[in-house]
A and B are shown apart, each in its own frame.
Chain A
Amino acid sequence: MTGQPFHRSRAEMLQERPAPITSVGVIGWMRANLFSTWLNVALTLSALALLALTVPPLIDWTFLDATFAGSAGKDCTGEGACWAWLDQRIHQFVYGFYPAEAYWRANLAVVLLVPAVGYLLFANLPYARYGRWFSLAYPVIAAFLLVGGLGLDVVRTDQFGGFVLNLVAGITGIVLSLPIGILLALGRRSRMPIVRTFSVAFIEFIRGVPLITLLFVAIILLPIFLPREVSLDQLVRVMVIITLFASAYMAEVIRGGLQAIPQGQYEAGQAMGLGYWQSMRLIVLPQALKISIPGIVNTFIGLFKDTTLVIIIGLFDILGQARLLQTNQDWLGKVDYETFLLAALFFFVICFGMSRYSINLEKRLDTTRR
């Protein structure tokens, strides 16, 4: 029998075809992520319904129905938010009672913060070698700019306030609590009894007492014990307490990281003839800190939010300014939600930023072999 041989295979290639639209693109993504199971469908739909119920009224209230002009609460007659205070009061939310002619100093300190932090956080910036030195010198520069002296007018720390105060207290705490926490964590694992006892006692004492109690001790009890001539600056007292408090928690986070490092790593350091500090610096800590990143950032975020407690020494951070405006009789009862919303937005931006950076850092340092 002759004729065409029977081909089980195709003679020519088929044209490439796009994947079915149900598995790629927007629809595919939605099928995979939003509607993969009945439970997911239900969750997606109820979440959408919730958003539809809340978002439009919120936008109406915040922007569309809001009052933006006026000089007192009585001008806010609409249904929406009252933002009329913004143009007169925003500088107090940002700078507190910092003297207006010195705003440039606070501005400069915040602007310089960007490269100072940038060089610490990101490895691939230009002029990195000099940048690191700048980062180290930054605290001195910022303190000089903010407080004054040496030719600049001195600004008392009780004039600090608003956003700038949160930043000053938060960043000081963050920068100092990490090294102190590392030392305490190493101290707690040390074989030297005095160092170990001190570290354990310090950490357990601080963790055993609420922050607000420590603050009251520093603010109310300390002046009774100190002679009258010795007066420690109130803001310094609070910043020391907040830093020590965060350090104790930091120490435990880092100790967790240290304990996750296999004994072999320590022994490897010794085998290579490295001393204690060398092996810690070169081998153990880089690994321990890397796995502690989520916990460290957790502590940072907690610390940053604790800076609102400066209200108990009568300083008005951004939250304090919000409450202060609420008790101004011109705005009484009109700006309760608006001022809190502004403070919340500010904290969200900073804390969300920290958490995103920590995710970025974890990915960058990820050396696990998957």
Chain B
Amino acid sequence: MKFKQIAGAVAVAGALCVAGGMPGQAATLDDVKAAGTLKCGINTGLPGFAYTDDAGKWTGFDVAYCRALAAAVLGDANKVTFVNLTGKTRFPALAAGEIDVLSRNTTWTLSRDVDLGFTFIGVNYYDGQGFIGRKALGVKSAKELGGASVCIQTGTTTELNLADFFRINKIKYEPVPIETNAEARAAYDAERCDVYTTDASGLAATRTTFPKPGDHMVFPEIISKEPLGPLVRQGDDQWADIARWTLNALITAEELGVTQGNVAKMAEGTDNPEINRMLGKEGSMGKMLGLDANWAARAIAAEGNYAEMFERYIGADSPLGLGRGLNALYKDGGILYSPPFR
């Protein structure tokens, strides 16, 4: 009896500690402004999306979003504290309030959105999982991979997609689980597995690194939807709105032809009312978000609009050489579509 009482007391005290320590509904915007820096969770290294330059500065497609958001909120694209997170630490870090926003090629899924208590604020890259294999295998399609060994990165949605795909098609396979992308690539190169699977964006880059890229082929099947996007904690709608509309502003800027080069001039006023509303010349959109009028202009000035960011870090002329594909604007045949600034 006594033991039960003590145990109960301990449990209650523990629960109180958790409740007290939980990041409440406090305004993230105020916290960020008070800290004077945006804590942005990024990858520990992913080609094109998050990497360091020779000066040790973080750059990349996911990183660029952090800088744009910092410019919108704090007025300075360099007021970002980057927190490097692994696949395992990213969600706890966001839940515990160690970061304000997570921009780490994270797939938007129902369970992450609902069960983990996060709010995905949009999609900045539509990806999908594919396979790369040796041409010498004589296989033309992923559906012919019966009995093949597959190198795969653990702890990611790709692992689950793979299981689903083979179950649906009723074929057997032998998974070769590997911790990081670089090791998986090396394992495939060393012929420890017949095929290697990861997001198609990664496959294209991987293929270029092999000594003879022509010996390998990316199979036509894309077996999953991988909408990658930034996310914030659930429960602070204002902050989610700011994060969401910063991303929308970057996409809309491409649609309306606002670039890093001309944004300063356009902010002085144009003939297009939507540009004027977005850049703060007309209306009071910044005020609605709890920011000043020039928030979107600063976000675009930081790293350019969506197209400029895409081309600089992952586009056709970058070492990754990815085409726009699904990530083109809706009017160019893609599915990138921002709600209007009205």
Q: Residues on A close to B: CB < 8 A?
A: 72-73, 88-89, 92, 96-97, 100, 158, 216, 219-220, 223-228, 311-316, 320, 323-324, 326-330, 332-334, 336
Contacts and interface: CB of A to CB of B under 8 A. Distances in A.
Interface in B145-194: 180-182, 185-186
Nearest to B26: A228
A314 B83 contact: yes
Given A228-B23, A324-B45, A328-B52, A220 B89 contact: yes
Interface centre among A73, A100, A227, A228 (most CB of B within 10 A): A228
Nearest 4 pairs of A and B residues by beta carbon: A333-B209, A314-B84, A327-B45, A329-B319
Nearest to B14: A225
Q: Assign chain B's interface to a size class.
A: 35 or more
B46 to A, nearest CB: 6
B21 A225 contact: yes
Given A225-B18, A312-B89, A320-B44, A333 B51 contact: no
Nearest to B314: A329
B97 A223 contact: yes
Given A225-B21, A327-B182, A329-B51, 6 more contacts: A73-B209, A220-B96, A225-B18, A228-B21, A314-B85, A336-B185
Contacts of B85: 314
B299 interface: no
Nearest to A231: B98
Interface of B: 17-18, 20-23, 44-48, 51-52, 54-56, 81, 83-86, 88-89, 92-93, 95-98, 180-182, 185-186, 205-206, 208-210, 318-320
Contacts of B209: 73, 332-334
Given A327-B182, A329-B51, A329-B320, A158 B21 contact: no
A42 B97 CA distance: 64
A311 B21 contact: no
Contacts of A220: 89, 92-93, 96
Nearest to A336: B186
A367 B252 CA distance: 80
A220 to B, nearest CB: 4
21 contacts: A88-B54, A158-B81, A220-B93, A224-B21, A225-B17, A226-B21, A228-B97, A311-B86, A312-B86, A312-B88, A313-B89, A314-B86, A315-B84, A324-B44, A327-B45, A329-B318, A332-B47, A333-B185, A333-B209, A333-B210, A336-B185
Contacts of B208: 332-333
B224 to A, nearest CB: 22
Contacts of B21: 223-228
B97 A324 contact: no
A235 to B, nearest CB: 13
Contacts of B47: 327-329, 332
Nearest to A327: B45
A98 to B, nearest CB: 8
A158 B40 CA distance: 13
Nearest to B24: A228
Contacts of B83: 158, 314
A130 to B, nearest CB: 38
A216 B51 CA distance: 24
B185 A316 contact: no
Contacts of A326: 45, 182
Interface centre among B56, B83, B210 (most CB of A within 10 A): B56
A96 B81 CA distance: 16
Contacts of A312: 86, 88-89
B32 to A, nearest CB: 14
A100 B55 CA distance: 9
B18 A224 contact: yes
Contacts of A158: 81, 83
A329 B48 contact: yes
Given A225-B18, A312-B89, A323-B180, A329 B84 contact: no
B51 A324 contact: yes
Contacts of A96: 56
Nearest to A92: B56
A89 B186 contact: no
A311 B97 contact: no
Nearest to A98: B56
Contact of B51 (A219, A328, A334): A328
Contacts of A226: 21
Nearest to A99: B56
B96 A224 contact: yes
A67 to B, nearest CB: 14
A187 to B, nearest CB: 26
Contacts of B23: 228
B206 A92 contact: no
Contact of A324 (B52, B89, B95, B210): B52
Nearest to A334: B209
A314 B55 CA distance: 18
Nearest to B52: A324
Contacts of A336: 182, 185-186
Contacts of B182: 323, 326-327, 336
Contacts of A333: 185, 206, 208-210
A216 B44 CA distance: 17
A230 to B, nearest CB: 9
Nearest to A320: B44
Contacts of A227: 20-21
Nearest to B209: A333
B96 A323 contact: no
A250 B176 CA distance: 37
A73 B208 CA distance: 11
A311 B44 contact: yes
A50 B52 CA distance: 40
A244 to B, nearest CB: 21
Contacts of A72: 319
A326 B51 CA distance: 10
A23 B52 CA distance: 61
Contact of B52 (A92, A219, A314, A334): A92
Contacts of B51: 324, 327-329
A330 B208 CA distance: 11
